[in-house]
Amino acid sequence: MTTRIETRFADLKAEGRPALVTFVMAGDPDRDTALAVMRALPEAGADLIELGMPFSDPMADGPAIQRAGLRALGSGETLARTLETVRAFREDNEQTPVILMGYFNPIYIYGVERFVRDAKASGVDGLIVVDLPPEMDDELCLPALAGGLNFVRLATPTTDDKRLPAVLKNTSGFVYYVSINGITGTAAPDAGAVGRAVTRIKGHTDLPVCVGFGVRTAAQAEAIARQADGVVVGSAIVQAIEEAAPRGTEAVVDAVTALVRSLAEGTRGQSLAAA
C-alpha cells in the first residue's frame, strides 16, 4: 500500500520541484498553539511535516529544539497527547504527510506494538528515530514497516560507502541526509559538499534524499534545493515559535507562516529557475 509520503514525493517529482519539510515540536509552547501551527503549515508551503516527540535527553538536538522539548514537557505533553494532536490535524487535512521524529525511549515505554498501532490509527505516516541504528531494526523499524509506516533513516557526512547499504536496507519514504556533523541548528551547510553527498547516496538508492540541519533562510533553502529532493527546516521555525510565544497563539502562527512562506519561495524559486 502506498503511503502519503510516497504519494507526495511522486507528485512533487511530477511537478519537477523539491519538497519543503518543516519540523515543529508537539506541545510547544502548548498543545493548542502547536496544533494551530501544524494546521497552518501546509497552506504556508510545507509539503511534509515532521512532528517532534518531546524527550528529556535529546542528544542530537541543538539548543533551540532542546528548549522546545522542555517547553512542551512543561506544558504536559506526552506521547499519547502527540498522537491526539495528529488525529486532530487529520480532521481537516488528509493529504499532508506527518512524520514523528524523536528518540526511542518514549516509544519503548509506551510499548512498540501499541505505539505502531496507535500511530497508524491517528494518521501518522512515518517515523524518524535518531538513536536506533540498523543493528536494532527488530526493535522498531521492522514492526513499523509491517504496520504500514515508513521508517526514515538518517545518513551523515561520516556514513561511508561501506556503511551506507546497512543504513539504507530498511529505509523507506525518503532518506534524511544530515548536512553537518554535530547537533541541529548550529552551523550552515555547504551546498557543494551536500551536492556531492546526495549524488553518492543516490548511487545506492532510488529513494528521495532530503537535506536538513542548519538550513535557516530562503537563500540557503534555494541552494540546497538545487542539490536534493527536499529541504528540511527545523531550528529556525522552532526559534520563531519561541520568540513569538509570549504574544500568544495568533502571533506564533503569523511568525511561523511568514517564515515558512519565505522558505517555500526559496525551494520553489529553484524549480522555477530551472523550468
Q: Are 99 and 123 in contact (CB under 8 A)?
A: no
Instruction: Give the number of C-alpha atoms closer than 13 A to the C-alpha of residue 3, restricted to the C-beta side.
Output: 25
- What one-character-per-residue DSSP string does 240-251 give? HHHHHGGG-HHH
Peptide bond preceding 133 in cis form (omega within 30 of 0): no
Burial class (CB in 10 A: 0-12, 13-18, 19+), 272: exposed
Quote the CA–CA distance of 150 and 2 in Å, as a whole number: 10
Phi, psi of 63 (to 5 degrees): -60, -40
Which residues, 6+ apart, have CB-to-CB distance to 51 below 8 Å?
23, 24, 25, 26, 38, 82, 85, 86, 98, 99, 100, 101
Quote the CA–CA distance of 247 and 89 in Å, as a whole number: 23
Helix (H) or strand (E) holding 72: helix 63-74
The catalytically annotated residue of 28, 50, 125, 242 is 50
Residue 254 pairs in a beta bridge with none
Q: Hey, is 58 helix, strand or coil?
A: coil
Q: Are 70 and 46 in contact (CB under 8 A)?
A: no
The catalytically annotated residue of 30, 47, 61, 77 is 61
Q: Reply yes or no on whether 61 is catalytic.
A: yes
Quote the CA–CA distance of 259 and 236 in Å, as a whole number: 8
DSSP state, residue 70: H
Instruction: Output the nine-digit C-alpha cell for 105.
Output: 525511549
Active-site residues, by number, are 50, 61
